[in-house]
Structures are given as C-alpha cells and as structure tokens.
Amino acid sequence: MARLRTATVSLLLALPLTALSIEPTGHAAAGPDKAGRGLNSEIYQLSVTPKSTDAWALAFNYRPGSSSVGDVIRRYHHGTWSKERITGVPKTGVYLNGIAGATATTAWVAGDTYDTTTTTYHPLLARWKSGVFRRMPVPGFTHGRLIDIAASSKRNAWLVGSPGDFTPNVAFRWNGHKWKDTKLPQSSAAEFGAASIATSGPKNTWIAEQGNTSTVQHWNGSKWAEVRLPTEVVAESVATTPTHTWVAGYRNGTTATPVVLRLAGSTWKSIKLKHLDGATPGMFLGIGASGSHAYAVGRTSLVGVGEAVAIAAVLHGKSGTAVRPISVPKYTALNDVAASRKLVLAGGDYAKKGSCQSPFHSIAERFRHGEWSRVAIPKKLVPASKGGPVACG
C-alpha cells in the first residue's frame, strides 16, 4: 500500500516527469470534512480488511485560499462510504499517515500531532473498536511520527515510525495485547524514512525505506534483515502474501519510469509489463496483494505532454499481464490500492483539466471480473469544487 500523499494531481500534471523526485511525506493538518464550495479532495491511502469486502481510506481535503484543510477517515462497508472520527484529538495539528483494517470489528489509524509551542511531533495511534476510534499510547515512543501501519489479524499489526529527521526508523508489533519494539536496524536509506509497510502474518512483515537508494527490511518472526533493491529503483510501496512479495515504484533516471519488482528467493526480478515499453514516463504509487495476485496503480503520460492517465497492472504470480485500462477522467492519479480475495479497491484523485489551476476530486475504482469500475462516493463526503484554482506552489 502506498504511503505517498501527492500534493495534488493537478500539481503533478504540471510538472515534467524528467528527473522526477517526490518525497513520501507532506500532508496537511486535520480539520473538518464539511460540505461546501471550493473543496478539493483526494484519497491517498487505502486498506481492505482481510477476508472481507470492507475497506478504509484516508482522504485529504483542501479549500483554496483558506486554512480549512484536513485529513479524514472514511469507511467502506456494504458498498457504502461513511465518515469516521478519532475521539479526543485536537481540531488542528493532526496528521494521519496510515490506516489498516484488521477484522470486521478492529482497525487502526496512525499519524502524529504537532505542538506549535514546542515545535515537536508526537505519535498518534488510534484503534477502532465498538464502532469508535480511540487513542492508544505506543510504549516507549512519545516523540516523533508514525509513518505507516499494517495488519493481517486482530493479533498481528505493525507500526513504523521515525523519532525525528535523519534518525533511524522504529518498528513496533501488536500481538493482540500490547505493542512491542522489534528493534529495527538502521538501513542505508533510514535517513529519509519509510515509504510503506506490509504484513501477512507474525513471521512475514516488510518495510520499504527511501533514501539515496531504496531498501526493504524483512521480519521473519525473530529478526530483521535488509534486502537491497537495484540502485536505480525508488520504492513507493510494498505488498506481501504468505507466498509472494512485490515492490512498486519507479526507476530514477533521466526520465522516471514505472517499475514493479517481485522477490524470487533473495533476488528482486523486474516484471515486464505489457504496453509499457520501459521508457514510458510515470510511476506506480501503490501496490496491494492477495493470494498469488498483486495490483499496482499509479499514473503515466501516454497520450502527450501534460495529459496523464491512470495505470493499473494486474500481476499473476511470476508474470505481469497487460496494464489494464481504467475508465477514469483523463487527468487522473491513482495513489493507492488494497486487496483481499473479496475486494480490490483503488483510490486517488482527478482534475477536469491538466493544469495546476484545476480543482481536483476524489475517485475510487473496484477491480472485479477482469475489469475496473467506478465506486460512487457520496457528494456529502466529496462535494464539488467550485471555489477557485489550486495554487501551484
């Protein structure tokens, strides 16, 4: 699952992909998710609850020319979206970075709060239980940011965080009763923080980290081990099942190009994607997996400069299939995708025009029976934007 929040799809479309470099952080203080004019919105992270058709999403709302911005939680249940809140959090200075559905009755959200007086970050963790998100402390971790969270059951959840800039990451495991520090070793990419975390069980957890080079760390049930990626690959997202592990992102060169890698033994192998010739500008921003299948989403420019289209690769075990077309507006970025055996859901945003002066809107797509189709989002959660352009800087 992706951990990248795009500033806006409009801003991305205004930038050339040549020598593109995007940092995996940057988000806005949480605020009200109110209907009204001029509200821009995008889905930037998704989680599908294992063995179910339930899903969770983090969305970003922004009103141009106003301080009314915010990270909001949305729940997808029985085909309907609803809005959820965390009890007992400030109205401002709250940042949501990761969300994970564990069971039909348990979910987690992770992020941080910012103290303007001391200019420090404090971790924010909340568990959804009995229909309410309530805060929970992380033992021994009182200062810093929680970057991402993943879960495979009510007894297996994982957190990755950072105590501060240019400091090694930390990783905690939930065993159903308490959180425990697993002593994540410092990697060659630790100074830039984690991009993604994924788990399929207590003995199989992966963290993708970004830096001058990207690496992944693997937990085998007792210890962490670093697995290097090719030097030119920047990992945006990692996904794992009991039998397969994938990394999605881009090759960083003169032109950024989409890439998906599959772990074969101790070696990462690049998957050849049909209809992407290796020179197409773009990137995969998220990847999700279930069983022997994986689904990668992102954006690329196939029809001309400034005219971006969403891309989605459906991967079967060792090989990749054609990049499946998605029925979405032309100027679209898909930021994340999550999968279970019952639901594959992707989310992102689109702009009506390929310009950083165009408002943007949330979008969700479901993969079923070999095709992608739109999942409606109620207007009360994503009102139409009529309040003016998005600032380019």
Q: Within a 10 A sphere around the Cβ of 325, how many other Cβ atoms? A: 13
Residue 312, pLDDT score: 85
- Whole-number Å distance between alpha carbons of 94 and 271: 38
Q: Please provide the DSSP assignment of 341-386 as one string.
A: SS-EEEEEEEESSSSTTS-EEEEEEEEETTEEEE----TTTSPPP-
Residue 384, pLDDT score: 45
| Spatial CB neighbours of 162, under 8 Å, sequence gap ≥ 6 | 144, 145, 147, 169, 170, 193, 194
CA 65 to chain centre: 27
The candidate with the shortest Cα–Cα distance to 13, out of 312, 300, 364, is 300
User: Which amino acid is residue 38, in one-letter code?
Assistant: G
Q: Within a 10 A sphere around the Cβ of 108, how many other Cβ atoms? A: 26
Residue 317, pLDDT score: 65
What is the token pair recorded at 323?
């990049």
Q: Please provide the DSSP assignment of 79-102 as one string.
A: TEEEEE-EET--SSSEEEEEEEE-
CATH number (2.60.40.10, 2.130.10.150, 1.10.150.130, 3.40.50.2000) of 9-374 reads 2.130.10.150
- Whole-number Å distance between alpha carbons of 304 and 378: 32
What are the residue ranges spanned by the domains of the chain?
9-374
User: Which amino acid is residue 10, in one-letter code?
Assistant: S
pLDDT tens-digit map of 275-329: 676 667 888 999 999 998 999 999 886 544 445 678 888 887 655 565 666 777 7
pLDDT tens-digit map of 106-157: 999 999 998 888 889 999 999 999 999 999 999 999 999 999 999 999 999 9
- pTM (predicted TM-score): 0.86
- Flag residues of the chain having pLDDT under 50: 1-38, 67-68, 190, 303-306, 383-393
- Whole-number Å distance between alpha carbons of 89 and 386: 30
Q: Within a 10 A sphere around the Cβ of 100, how many other Cβ atoms? A: 29
